[in-house]
Amino acid sequence: MAASLRCFLRSGKKAVSALGQREFHKSAPVAAQVTVRDALNQAMDEELERDERVFLMGEEVAQYDGAYKVSRGLWKKYGDKRIIDTPISEMGFAGIAVGAAMAGLRPICEFMTFNFSMQAIDQVINSAAKTCYMSAGLQAVPIVFRGPNGASAGVAAQHSQCFAAWYAHCPGLKVVSPWNSEDAKGLLKSAIRDDNPVVFLENELLYGVPFEMSEEAQSKDFTIPIGKAKVERAGTHVTLVSHSRYVGYCLDAAAVLTKEGIECEVINLRTIRPMDVESIEASLMKTNHLVTVEGGWPQFGVGAEICARIMEGPAFNYLDSPVTRVTGVDIPMPYAKILEDHSLPQIKDIIFSVKKTLNV
């Protein structure tokens, strides 16, 4: 109790997240509002504590508390050995992280944004993803590559790309894209405990957003399995499938559409690879209509893959209209706010697409 009062007095801002901290488990167990940032922080803190082979490396993760403050407090708690600030050398430190994973450690390699991972993509794909296969199982690479992915706000073309499709293309990688705080915490813990390379795509705009976390989700052993989607909202008329930030947009669109009598079922993919197509198919066989929503570019993207998989599977015959993809506009991200706003799916675009798909 005293702790929360202190926290509250220290900074009103942090009061909300203070409620989510573990000290309160001993008192009344209760759901709490926790930001995605704090959920990620908790996940890493718990896994660092649980397994001494786990360590975090990346630019500004230690003394700066993380470029986006995701690793706040970890360096103070765990020190130089386990929270390592690197020079600006993505290819070098990604390779170092992969080598450390090969030699028995469990690194979390942070890319300040996934745009910079392109510098290091050879290490992610050729050194990490393919090694278990090439060695016929002799050499495991238990590594997590994490960082913000996709568009932010006003950061323009070189800093706004979504890499979900790029990484999800490659066998040997698991690609995870959480939406809310429970997703973030549960999936990051699973990713760290996984003995294989996991690309963990966060979203910068979600870091500060609080979500309710159940009591169960606040426990130290809470994990969410990689490869399982979640139905965030049940519906009957149309299935909306999305990942990361756009799950929220789908739910917002659903809230508008319900007033017009259209009930949307919203699926949060959670994992891009391996994709839980079965959940999409089960939903589609109920609703007969499918709309995919993503922030990435349309060509060769997540929505394109969903379309192809639906066509190849049992749910195709249940479609009453072709699958609709709602995506980012096929351009490099512009800077001016009005242009940026129109480069990405808006709620009205989702609503429009649903109605077109339902032919209403």
12, 27, 28, 137: which one binds other proteins (CB under 8 A): 137
17, 127, 149, 324: which one binds other proteins (CB under 8 A): 127
261 lies in the site for other proteins, by CB under 8 A:
no
User: What is the rounded distance in angstroms from the CA atom of residue 344 to the CA atom of residue 114?
Assistant: 18
Minimum distance between the CB of residue 106 and other proteins, rounded to whole angstroms? 10
Stretch that binds other proteins, among 18-26, 120-128, 214-222, 327-335 (CB under 8 A): 120-128
Stretch that binds other proteins, among 16-24, 27-35, 37-45, 122-130 (CB under 8 A): 122-130
| Residue 90 annotated to the active site | yes
> Considering beta carbons, is residue 162 or 229 the nearer one to other proteins?
229
**3-state per-residue secondary structure call for the chain:** CHHHHHHHHHCHHHHHHHCCCHHHHCCCCCCEEEEHHHHHHHHHHHHHHHCCCEEEEECCCCCCCCCCCCCCCHHHHHCCCCEEECCCCHHHHHHHHHHHHHCCCEEEEECCCCCHHHHHHHHHHHHHHCHHHHCCCCCCCCCEEEEECCCCCCCCHHHCCCCHHHHHCCCCCEEECCCCHHHHHHHHHHHHHCCCCEEEEECHHHCCCEEEECCHHHCCCCCCCCCCCEEEECCCCEEEEECCHHHHHHHHHHHHHHCCCCCEEEEECCEEECCCHHHHHHHHHHHCCEEEECCCCCCCCHHHHHHHHHHHCHHHHHCCCCCEEECCCCCCCCCCHHHHHCCCCCHHHHHHHHHHHHCC
Minimum distance between the CB of residue 242 and other proteins, rounded to whole angstroms? 23
Stretch that binds other proteins, among 11-19, 93-101, 235-243, 247-255 (CB under 8 A): 93-101
51 lies in the site for other proteins, by CB under 8 A:
no
**Taking Cα atoms as reference points, which of 8, 6, 26 lies closest to residue 16?**
8
Stretch that binds other proteins, among 6-14, 35-43, 81-89, 289-297 (CB under 8 A): 81-89
Tokens at 149, concatenated: 């992915």
Catalytic entry in 90, 110, 265, 294: 90
139 lies in the site for other proteins, by CB under 8 A:
yes
122, 215, 330, 341: which one binds other proteins (CB under 8 A): 122
Minimum distance between the CB of residue 271 and other proteins, rounded to whole angstroms? 12
2, 9, 28, 103: which one binds other proteins (CB under 8 A): 103
What dihedral angle (degrees, nearest 10) is formed by the CA atoms of 50, 43, 142, 94?
-120
12 lies in the site for other proteins, by CB under 8 A:
no
105 lies in the site for other proteins, by CB under 8 A:
yes
Residue in the block written with tokens 């072709």 = 322
Contact of 304 with 325, CB cutoff 8 Å? yes
Build a one-symbol-per-residue string for 165-204: x at contacts with other proteins by CB under 8 A, - elsewhere. Answer: ------xx-x--------------------xx--------
132 lies in the site for other proteins, by CB under 8 A:
yes
| Residue 23 annotated to the active site | no
252, 274, 298, 349: which one binds other proteins (CB under 8 A): 274
10, 22, 63, 89: which one binds other proteins (CB under 8 A): 89
User: What is the rounded distance in angstroms from the CA atom of residue 314 to the CA atom of residue 276?
Assistant: 14
> Considering beta carbons, is residue 260 or 312 the nearer one to other proteins?
312
4, 21, 126, 346: which one binds other proteins (CB under 8 A): 126
102 lies in the site for other proteins, by CB under 8 A:
yes
- Give catalytic residues, as residue numbers: 90, 159
Query: Site residues (CB under 8 A) for other proteins?
Result: 55, 81, 84, 86-87, 89, 91-105, 122-123, 126-127, 132-142, 171-172, 174, 195-196, 274, 312-313
